[in-house]
Amino acid sequence: MPRVVFDPDIPEAARDVLAANAPLLPHPSAAPPRPRFGGRGLRTAGLAAIQAPIWVYLPAVACWQYGKWARVAGIAAEAVVIAPIALFGLDGFAWNTLLGAPLQMIAFLVVLLLSGEPELPKLIRRHKDGYIRPEELDGPAPDLLARAQAAVDGVIRSEVNREGLLDEVRNTITLPRQLWDVGQTLAELTRLHDEQTQRTMGLSTPRVVEALRPQRRALNLATESVIKRVEALERYAARTRVADQALLELRALHNLAEGNDAYRDLLARTVRDDLAIAEIDDLAERARQIEEALYDSVEQARRAGLSLVPQAS
């Protein structure tokens, strides 16, 4: 099942919020409108008016939910509020009330400015052209997007990638760009196909078919091109899986080689012949061969990945 694909130029923090709310993302044409006054209505103003005196006179309570250091700051501010009352009684209370009035107004304005429209609608409106939903695709497009995403996921999660053996490919930069390019092409193919269907008004007469031939040829060529790109991603993922298997086998043989001395001594005591020792030594040789195979697999995977870079540019 394909996922929403995002423009890699969207800041990472915003992209994470959008991805976490992928089922809520609307079609770009249905992005939420900008609310009046930034979403700050009478209800928001009322809540700000209630919170303002709490921030001024009970800062310890107001800061308690914001973590350790906020609590420390709130307790310190609370001590400043209580000190005049403790030292001067009613005079201190009157002094606090006098100073508290303008501070409440400031707190009210700050709370009001920080309130308003939630983050998600703002991000959707700001980046409405920066994501493509699978629901917007038709024909073979959803399947092609799913294949591309599966290939990229396989490379990113591979052990050789986590170990940094493919770092030249700069997977974190190249592969998201590849996915976005694939998604954009598939979305454009879907749009043109729908537009073509609307303009023909369901007719398939010889003249209409003849007029459609150049457009359909262009659509077919573009589809073949994106299929080749998806297949290139899948080849890269396949090379990465081979390299992963070689790395796993190499580690297993290294683990076995660590116990060679004990087995060598055991065979030397029981068999006392060169053949038995040679069998143990063969483990080291096999490890060397697997290591060479690993390097060869990694190099092939890196070349497969590097072949994608010109397309991403």
* 36-67: pLDDT as tens digits: 666 676 777 788 788 888 888 888 888 888 88
pLDDT (tens digit, 9 = 90+) per residue, 232-278?
999 988 988 888 888 888 788 777 777 666 666 665 666 555 554 45
Contact criterion met (CB below 8 Å) for 196 and 215: yes
pLDDT band at 280 (very low <50, low <70, confident <90, very high): very low
- Which sequence spans correspond to the domains of the chain? 36-116, 139-312
Q: With beta carbons less than 8 A apart as the criterion, state whether 138 and 186 touch.
A: no
Compute the mean pLDDT over every residue in the chain, rounded to the nearest whole number: 81
- Model confidence, pTM: 0.68
Rounded mean pLDDT of 143-160? 92
Average pLDDT over residues 99-105: 83
Confidence class of residue 210 from pLDDT cuts 50, 70 and 90?
confident
Nearest to 204 by CA among 195, 216, 194, 212: 212
Specify the long-range contacts of residues 99-104, CB closer than 8 Å, at least 24 apart.
100/53, 100/56, 100/57, 103/56, 104/52, 104/53, 104/56
The pLDDT value given to residue 141: 93
What are the counts of helices (DSSP H) followed by strands (DSSP E) for the chain? 13, 2
Is residue 312 scored above 50 in pLDDT? Answer: no
pLDDT at 108 over 70: yes
